[in-house]
Structure 1
Amino acid sequence: MPITLFIVRHAKAEDRAVFMSDHDRQLTSDGIMAAARIGRYLHEKAIVPDVLISSTAPRAKDTAKVIAEQIGFDPATIQLNNLLFDGGPKAYLAAINALPDDLESAMIVGHNPDVSYLAEFLTHQSIGSMSKGAVVAVTFDDVNWAEVSGRTGSVAFQIAPRQLSQD
């Protein structure tokens, strides 16, 4: 059974202020709108992952919540993983490898450069630096989640908010 992973970079967040920790940065209104556009795009493609995992940082959690609301995924069931904030690409891979075999799809929302590196590592395709709010869909054939690793997937699509209409 093919499986699909949707890798999402959080949408635009406020700039870091002297008094604020990087972890606590919030989405801007533009970021909220961009996440909603991406969510609508996914909804139009009838994409609803079996599980949605997010970094604990507010900008990632809120991106995940906005997308979840747009696609009809219950935001209360979003799984938060504190290692996705600063655990590096290995933390993302560990979260993916721990997924149960009965899931056909998963979405993971996190931070650059880790998400861009992860997409390129899994597919061995040039992704570049994912823009804020962008999604890369990666499909895997003949592997289960525990076997997902370098060069095991291929890019099904890549989309950024700026590529979508703003109406």
Structure 2
Amino acid sequence: MKKNLFIVRHATAEDIGNLTVVRDFDRELVSKGIMEAAKLGKALSEYFPEIQAIYSSGAARALSTATIVAEQIKFDTEKIEIKDALYGSGPRGYLEVLNTIPDEIQNAMIVGHNPDISYFADYLTRDDVGGSMKKASLIHLGFEGFQWNELSQHLGGFINRLEGSH
């Protein structure tokens, strides 16, 4: 049975620059980012609203993006699972999350950060996924004939790309 993976980069967040009062992990979405996430969620609701599981980095900007997108596709936000491996663990952390998705799930979403998430999308497919992911963008990959725990390099096919930014 086909598996669908939706890889989402978080929307625009505060730029902390040289400020040390806000940790990178705690950066919140700015109003532009909130609008981008809502736009991405609306596009996804029209394109493919049947997401069964959402896994997000615990960083504020990623979790906020996941929550806003979930609301748009009528996904219960209480069921978003925070995965520590999606923050600062590199593409290997993303693969760890992917390989532990329960097999009864056909359509899953992972929300995370660049550059790891762009590297991860490239790793999973031989297809051109368009380079570095923009903020508030989504890449849809499909996997035919595999279980989540079997997925690895070059097994996915690129299906579509959606963007919430202009």
TM-score range, shorter chain: over 0.9
Of residues 135, 141, 146 in structure 2, which corresponds to 1:132?
A: 135
Which range is displaced more, 135-144 or 123-132? Answer: 123-132
In the alignment, does 2:125 pair up with 1:109? no
Within-5 A mapping of 1:51-90: 51-90=53-92
Count of matched residue positions in the alignment of Structure 1 and Structure 2: 163
Q: Shift of the alpha carbon at 1:160?
A: 1.6
Within-5 A mapping of 1:1-167: 1-16=1-16, 17-127=19-129, 128-162=131-165
Paired residue secondary structure (1:61): helix
Alpha-carbon deviations, 1:17-59, whole Å to 9, x = none?
3211111100010000000001000111242311000000000
* TM-score for the superposition, normalised by structure 1: 0.94
Q: Percent identity?
A: 42
* TM-score for the superposition, normalised by structure 2: 0.95
Looking at structure 2, the residues matched to 97 and 144 of structure 1 have their Cα atoms a distance apart, in angstroms, of 8
Q: Shift of the alpha carbon at 1:103?
A: 0.8
8 A contact 2:136–2:165 mirrored in 1? no
Looking at structure 1, the residues matched to 62 and 113 of structure 2 have their Cα atoms a distance apart, in angstroms, of 8
Q: Shift of the alpha carbon at 1:162?
A: 3.1
Structure 1, unpaired ranges of 5+? none
Looking at structure 1, the residues matched to 48 and 113 of structure 2 have their Cα atoms a distance apart, in angstroms, of 25
Structure 2, unpaired ranges of 5+? none
> What root-mean-square deviation, in Å, do the aligned CA atoms of Structure 1 and Structure 2 show?
1.0
Paired residue secondary structure (1:158): strand
